[in-house]
Structures are given as C-alpha cells and as structure tokens.
Amino acid sequence: MNTLAPFLPTIAALVKIGLLVGGLMTAAAYLVLVERWMAAWVQDRKGPNRVGIPLTKIRLFGLGQPLADGLKIILKEDFTPRHVDKVLYTAAPLVILAASLAIFAAIPFGSVLPPLGIPGLPDPVPFLVAPGLDVGVLWVFALSSIAVYGVLLGGWASNNKYGFLGGLRSSAQLVAYEIPLGLGLLGVVLAAGSLKLDAIMNAQAESGVWYAFAQPLGFIVFLVASFAEAARLPFDLPEAEQELVGGYHTEYSGIKLLLFLVAEFLHMVTAAFLIVIMFLGGWHLWGVTGSSQEVTWLGAFIRFGVLSTKIFAVILFFMLVRWSWPRFRFDQLMNLAWKVVLPLGIANLVTVATIEEFRPQLVERLGAGPAGVIALAAPWAVFFLGWIAAGMLTPSGTDNTPIRTHNMLDAERELVEV
Amino acid sequence: MTPLPFDPLASGPLLAGAVLATVASLWLLLPNGRDTTSARWLGALLGLAALAAFIATGRRLGGLGEEAVFLIVSLVAVISAAATIVSRSPVYAAIWFALSLAGVAGVLLVLGAQFLGVATIVVYAGAILVMFLFVLMLAQPAGLAPYDRVSNEPFLSALAGAVLLGVLSLSIGRLSAGPASCCDLPTRATATVDTTAAPATAPVATVVDPLAENHVARLGGELFGRHLVAVEAAGVLLLVALIGAIAVVSRGEAAHAAEATTAKGPAAGRIAAR
C-alpha cells in the first residue's frame, strides 16, 4: 500500500476519468433515443420502440436502438472524398471531440464522497477530475471556444460550399454568443467569489438561494447563449438541413460523422451541466441534501442523484425547445446577440457588482434579513426593467418585404406616402 | 528544483552551433521559391538538431513526470511555431499557430500559472485566431498568388531570429545559474502580494507553491493592487480602440449617406441614413 501511495491521486483521477467518459458516452447514446422519443411525442407518433434484445422477440421499449445505431454507423464505410484537404478533414472531428471531452476535467459531477481513509488521498474525495484547477470556469470557457476549430476546419477542409457556409456561420455565431456567455458566467463568479465550479455549488448550497433566483437576468442571458453555443434548434444555423444539407459535416460519413454528432451532443450535455451547476444550485435541494461538506454515503448518493436529475430535466427542456421552435434567421440571430442579449448581460453584471460591493454596508445598517431582501429584489427589478426595455426598443418582428423600386427616389416617395 | 551548474564556456560552442543550425534550417525551410524536397528534409533535420542542442544547454526542472510533460508541451510549442512561419498555406499557418498557443498554454499550466495558461487559450486561440481563420477562409478561398507565398528576406529574418534566440538562451542560462537563482522571484512576488492583496484573500506568507489555493485571487490582488494604473491604462486603451472602431464605421456610413445626397438629391440621402 505504501509503495502505491504516491500514485494514488493519479489512480483516483484515472478512475474518475474512466467513470466520466464511460458515463458520458453511454448517456450521449441514450439521450439520442430520448430525443427521438421526445420528437415522436411532440409530433404525435410512436417513435423508436422496436429494437430490444437481438434474436429474441423482447422489445424493451426500443432500448436496444442506440446499440444498433452505434454499431451501424461504426461499421459503415469511412469514405473520404477526393477533393478534401485530408489532414484537416481527419483532424476536425478529433479536435471537436477531444475539446468537448476535456471540458469535463473541470466540471464536478456530484458533491464529495465521505472520507475513505486511504493514506495518500486527500479527504473528502471530490467528484471532480482536476480538483486542483483553480480556474475551472475559465477552463470550460477556453475549451468550448476551442470546439469552434472543429466546426470551422471541418467545413473548410470538406471543400464543399454547404460545408464551408456551415463552418462560417457557425464560427460567427459562436464568437458572437461567447460574449454574453462570458457575461453570464462573470455575474455568478462575482457573486460566489470563486472560479471553481464546486465552490460555486457550495456557495449556493450554503446561502440556499440559487443564482437563477438571485440573478434572473444573468440566468436568461446564459440560457440563451448556451443554446446558441450548443447550436441547438432556435440557433442551429450551422447545420440547417433545409438550407445547407448537413452544414459543416455534409461530407462526413461513418465514424467521423459519429464523432461530430457525439461532440454536438456533449455540447448540449455540457451546457446542461453548466446551467445546473451555476444557476440551479447543483446538487443542492432544500431540505433534502443539506449543505455541509461532511456527508454520509447515502448523502453523497442523494446529492449525485439530485444533480443528475436536474441535468436530465434541463436536457429534456433543450429537447422540447428543439421540437417546438422554428429557427432564427441569420440577421435575427446577430441582432439578438449584439442588441439584446449583450446589453442585458452587461446590465446584470453591473447590478451584481453593485450589490456585492455594498452588501457588507447593507448588512451592517439594516441587519442580515432586510439586506438579503434588497439584494434579491434589486436584480428582479433590473430583470423586469431590462425585459420591458428590450421589448420596447427591439421590434419583435422585422418587415421582410423587399422594396421593389427602380431607383432610390421612388422608394423615398413611397415612404413619404406611407 | 536545484539548477544544475551552468557553465557558459562549456555550453558556449554548443549554443553557437545550435544558433548556426537554426539559421541554416530556417533559411532552408522558409518559403523562398526554390521548394525542393531535399532542401526541406535537410532543413527539418537541421532544425531538429538545433532543437536538441538547445535542450542540451538548458537546465533540468527536477521531477521526471513534470519534466517529461514540460518537454512535450514545449516541443509542441516550438515546433508548431516554426511550422507557422514555414508553412505555405495561410490556413495551415493559422492552425499551426493555434497549436503553438496550446503548447504555450500547456507550458504555463505545467509551471503553475493556471490563469495565464487558460487566458492564452481564451484570448488568442479562442477569439483572435478564430477571427484570423474566418478572414483567411473568406478572403482567399482559391489560395494565395505565387508571389505572396515566398518569404521576402529569408536569410536575414532567419539570422535575426536565431541570434535573438541564442542571446536569450545565453542570458537566461546565466541568470538561472547565478547565485540569485529561480527561487528569488516567487518569494518576492508573494511578499508583495501580502501587503497589497485584499485582506480576505491574502495568503499565508510562507506559501510559495504557485499551485496553492486562491491562485487567481492572489493574481487579481496583485493586478489590482500594485499594477492598478497599468490595468486601468490598458482598459482605457481598449475602450479608445472600441470607440475609434465605432467612429470609423459610423463616419463611413455618414460619408456614404452624404455621397448619396450629393449624387441623387436630399431624398436619397435620407434613405441611406435610414
């Protein structure tokens, strides 16, 4: 045992990585099935319910479907068209999948285990691959911006106009929505006083106020931005099937296509993780999980269950939105990013900074109770003001009818008549 | 982490050889219109030799795992930086640059500067380089003209770069070999952090481990304490640039509108302004 002691943290990290990657990959496969069920439910049909245990008649509600799909796409011919840039064409899916898996090094997937009492291991054991990383939020932010490369390179290397357009659209969209995403993150970081995601969860558990309630505007901004970053349906312009065939992965097939699709799903899972951890209290649930760092085995399990349930609920929300909303047009997408979400994000950040600056004085003057009420009421006031302002200043619809004129003077005459 | 004794006289010839090999290798590799396969192979081999020589003149970090990881990420950074300047395709150059940035971020992470490492990726690889790629892909989908693909002064630029590299290696080697060695700097930094950082986040004075708790809080205390003026100045500079960009764009629109007004009468001007 003593000879193993120096390697124990490494072994613990490897075990966590194994659990996390295995769990994520399985989850991604079965979430595809859930998404198809959801689609079937929204569209009032049955969905995949046939595939069960092979060579028997047992159907098991279609639970064998992901295995069959995965086997099929892996065994398909991995076809590389002749007109592609081979190096980047091969690298793109690898880059995007590696980046979206590496994100999870800094994302906690539970609270802590009770002390194991193994010498050489820090107690209590956190549900986190890299507990020493002090910049967890920034790590997530950095790697989600690396994922753009996969899309951009995939689109460019395909040497196909649809793929190229998809890549360009995607990069413009991701760069635009990274800013509101960062503003949403910053508000939470400022309130929690830490860049570590587990510390952010602990802060919410201790105060009992989830940041979705303390910073409603920040929550909305972050939600919209993370939908856009995950390229889910109201924002799925990078691969709009009706316009771009498949977008940046038009030319891909077989296992490379699978890598792209898994990475896309992982983006959604990451977004769900972040929304839950940063705004919905993480593993905390009032009266169920407690808030201290000392846990029993049962407590640790309950916290893991609460976190997973919340994440699954957010993922279901993502899917429901996908099957119920139409897609934005590109100018609407950009207007929303730069003219609505960005100012709202700045408003949220300023509010949070002001509150956090004056919180000690307020507590000193008014006592903890009234100060807490003010600190909760002010963001909500800003939320409604921002909502009203956004509604009044930005038209909900745009007039798309082209002005059919021969010269500018005619157009002006028409406008004057109107 | 005790540095091995560094002897400039003993490693001097090695360093000089490394510099010469770098010059030759870069000169052979830089796009200069010759483009023969044998020259490029020779250049690559010379470059590897130069790299090995540079590594041999450096000092040890201590700790096998740390050293191996450091060596890998720094090799990635250096080799992809060289590949950035010698690659013919601008898109490939940008990708190599991204890889080089990833290597630099890895070096910073290994050395314990977590914030700098991650910020390098966020700022450079995540934002600036994506913009580069965007523009490169939009601007010249058919590739550059042949005269744009050659380096202007391959020999002089290779010479300047390699000599700079040699001088830096020599001076850094001397600095780290002297009595006031590596561990002087962190102690001083920690001491100053203690006086300036906010009381809530001030670390214990004896902590020198850069991977210790509250790494970012200490960095923030340092930035907004001792270097407050510099930070504010940089912020104002960026704000000025932002306002300038907006002013240029809106003036361009106004000029466009005025042009339209003079050309087609006031009505057209009003439309353009709308």
Chain A residues closer than 8 Å to B245 by CB: none
Which of A408-412, B47-51, B97-101 bottoms out in mean pLDDT, i.e. has the lowest? A408-412
Per DSSP, B128 falls in state I
> What average pLDDT score do residues B247-274 get?
62
Flag whether pLDDT at B147 surpasses 70: no
Q: How confident is the model at residue A223 (pLDDT cuts 50, 70, 90)?
A: very high
Answer whether A142 sits within 8 Å of B118, measured CB to CB: yes
Give mean pLDDT, residues A41-53: 82
Query: Residue A42: is its pLDDT beyond 70?
Result: yes
Query: In this predicted complex, what is the ipTM?
Result: 0.79
Shortest Cα distance, chain A CAs vs residue B265, angstroms: 9
Residue with tokens 């004056």: A358
Query: What is the residue-averaged pLDDT of chain B?
Result: 73
Residue B80 with chain A: CB contacts under 8 Å: none
Decide if pLDDT at B273 tops 60: no
% of chain A with per-residue pLDDT over 90: 6
Domain B8-181 has CATH 1.20.120.1200: yes
Residues 6 or more apart in contact with residue A8 via CB below 8 angstroms: A118, A120, A121
- Chain A positions contacting chain B at CB under 8 Å are 88, 132-135, 138-139, 141-143, 145-146, 148-149, 152-153, 156, 164, 167-168, 171-172, 174-175, 178, 195, 407-409, 411-413, 415
Between A292 and A382, the higher pLDDT residue: A382
Tell me if A175 and B130 make a contact (CB, 8 A cut-off): yes
B216 near A CB under 8 A? yes
Q: According to CATH, where is 1.20.120.1200 located in chain B? A: 8-181
3-state SS of chain A is CCCCHHHHHHHHHHHHHHHHHHHHHHHHHHHHHHHHHHHHHHCCCCCCCCCCCCCCCCCHHHCCHHHHHHHHHHHCCCCCCCCCCHHHHHHHHHHHHHHHHHHHHCCCCCCECCCCCCCCCCCCCECCCCCCCCCHHHHHHHHHHHHHHHHHHHHHHCCCHHHHHHHHHHHHHHHHHHHHHHHHHHHHHHHHCCCCHHHHHHHHHHHCCCHHHHCHHHHHHHHHHHHHHCCCHHHCHHHCHHHHCCHHHCCCCHHHHHHHHHHHHHHHHHHHHHHHHHHCCCCCCCCCCCCCCCCCHHHHHHHHHHHHHHHHHHHHHHHHHHHHCCCCCHHHHHHHHHHHHHHHHHHHHHHHHHHHHHHHHHHHHHCHHHHHHHHHHHHHHHHHHHHHHHHHHCCCCCCCCCCCCCCHHHHHHHHHHC
pLDDT, position B1: 40
pLDDT tens column, A117-155: 666 666 677 777 777 777 888 888 888 888 888 888 888
Binary contact (B122, A156; C-beta < 8 A)? no
Lowest mean pLDDT among A322-326, A374-378, B113-117, B194-198: B194-198
A95 → chain B, closest CA residue: B99
B window 20-59, beta carbon within 8 A of A: none
Residues of B in contact with A175 (CB under 8 A): 127, 130-131, 134
> Quick one: average pLDDT of A178-192?
89
Q: How confident is the model at residue B239 (pLDDT cuts 50, 70, 90)?
A: very high
| A&B contacts, CB < 8 Å | 88
> Quick one: average pLDDT of B141-155?
67
pLDDT value at position B236? 95
Q: Which of A303-307, A315-319, B228-232 is predicted least confidently?
A: A303-307
Within 10 angstroms of residue B73's Cβ, the number of other Cβ atoms is 20
Which chain B residue has its CA at the smallest distance from A416's CA?
Answer: B267
Q: Where residue B261 falls among pLDDT bands split at 50, 70, 90?
A: low
The larger pLDDT score, comparing residue B98 to residue A234, is at B98
CA-nearest of B193, B222, B211 to A135 is B211
Residues of B in contact with A195 (CB under 8 A): 216
State residue B274's pLDDT score: 41
Comparing A109-118, A335-344, B145-154, the range with the smallest average pLDDT is B145-154
Which of A156, A172, A412 faces B271 most closely, judged by CB atoms?
A412
Which pLDDT tens digit goes with each residue over B66-117? 788 888 898 899 889 888 888 777 888 888 998 999 999 988 888 878 888 8
* Beta carbons within 8 Å of B69's beta carbon, 6+ residues apart: B106, B110
Report yes or no: B202 and B192 within 8 Å, Cβ to Cβ. Answer: no
pLDDT at res. A405: 54
Using a CB-CB cut-off of 8 Å, the residues of chain B touching A142 are 118, 121-122, 125-126
Q: Does B264 touch chain A (CB under 8 A)?
A: yes
**pTM score of the predicted model:** 0.80
